[in-house]
Amino acid sequence: MGKKTTSLELSVIIPVLNGAEDLARCLAQLDGVSQVIVSDGGSADESQEIAGASGAHLVTGLPGRGGQLKRGADIAEMSWVLFLHVDSQLPADWCDQVAGHIATSSAPAAFHLRFDAPGWQARFVAGWANLRSRVFSLPYGDQALLISRDAYDQAGGFEDIPLMEDVALVRRLPRVTLLPGAITTSAQRYTRQGWFTRGRRNFWLLLRYICGARPEDLARAYRQK
């Protein structure tokens, strides 16, 4: 990652599985962070080599985002942790936003959401995600969850479940604050499956989970074409 230009006492945890191209871009935005942890789920591409060359801590294990995030958090050394998806781009001033939040609040936080795609469909889906986060305190993992170590431990941490690991954790946390900036995440799955087709599926899966459906059953439905 090159010479650090700032000093932000933060552990950033990135789960990855065969995401070498995204990982290189993701790591490039983390200059100045005290600790970067890449939690790999058994990649067959160059993800592990890229993580090692960057100077990041590398932890490996079975695939599954919940388990990967948990393993990363287990070795995090800082008092605040940022859980970051590999295909997400933080806002340019993200360090200042995070540093300001850490200095003034103990509440968990997340960024507003934006997609890397033009058009009203992308804006509409992102708008719903931001409304859900603001009104129901329910951001998803692709909004980059910023959590103090104390709050993370008190909530029981991430569960090694096949789906809804982010929702399960957020529902046990204190109310989540939205940071002013927006994180930009990949729209690939939405453009491939259709914005409203995928949006409806995600909403239905969320409702089923809240009503008590097993994550294993939801994961099977999520994988269906």
Using an 8 Å Cβ cutoff, are 12 and 30 in contact? Answer: yes
For tokens 């993800």, the residue is 47
pTM assigned to the model: 0.93
* Residue 213, Ramachandran bin (φ over 0: left; ψ between -120 and 50: alpha; else beta): beta
Q: How far apart are CA 80 and CA 8, in angstroms?
A: 10
Q: Return the H-helix or E-strand segment holding 183.
A: strand 177-185
Chain segment 136-170, per-residue pLDDT in tens = 999 999 999 999 999 999 999 999 999 999 999 99
Residues of the domain holding 60: 8-186
Q: Is residue 86 part of a domain?
A: yes
Tokens (6 digits) for 145: 């969850």
Phi, psi of 175 (to 5 degrees): -55, 135
Using an 8 Å Cβ cutoff, are 108 and 145 in contact? Answer: yes
Q: How far apart are CA 72 and CA 60, in angstroms?
A: 9
Q: Is residue 48 part of a domain?
A: yes
Q: Is 32 exposed, middle or buried (0-12, 13-18, 19+ CB in 10 A)?
A: middle
Note the pLDDT of residue 71: 97
Nearest to 32 by CA among 60, 4, 51: 4
Using an 8 Å Cβ cutoff, are 27 and 50 in contact? Answer: yes
Q: Is residue 208 part of a domain?
A: no
For tokens 């050394």, the residue is 77
Note the pLDDT of residue 63: 95
Chain segment 179-205, per-residue pLDDT in tens = 999 999 999 989 988 998 888 888 999
Q: Is residue 99 part of a domain?
A: yes
Which residues face 158 on adjacent strands? none
Q: Is residue 214 part of a domain?
A: no
- Whole-number average pLDDT of the chain: 93
Q: Is residue 213 part of a domain?
A: no
Note the pLDDT of residue 124: 95
% of residues, the chain, pLDDT over 90: 87
Grouping H, G, I as helix, E, B as strand and the rest as coil, residue 44 is coil
Q: Is residue 195 part of a domain?
A: no
Q: Is residue 224 part of a domain?
A: no
CATH code where residue 28 lies: 3.90.550.10
- How sure is the predictor about 223, in pLDDT bands with cuts at 50, 70 and 90? confident
Q: Mean pLDDT, to the nearest integer, of 56-63?
A: 97
Structural domains in the chain (count): 1
Which residues face 110 on adjacent strands? 178
Q: Mean pLDDT, to the nearest integer, of 102-123?
A: 96
How far does CA 186 lie from the centroid of its chain? 12
DSSP string, 151-172: HHHHTT-----SS-HHHHHHTT
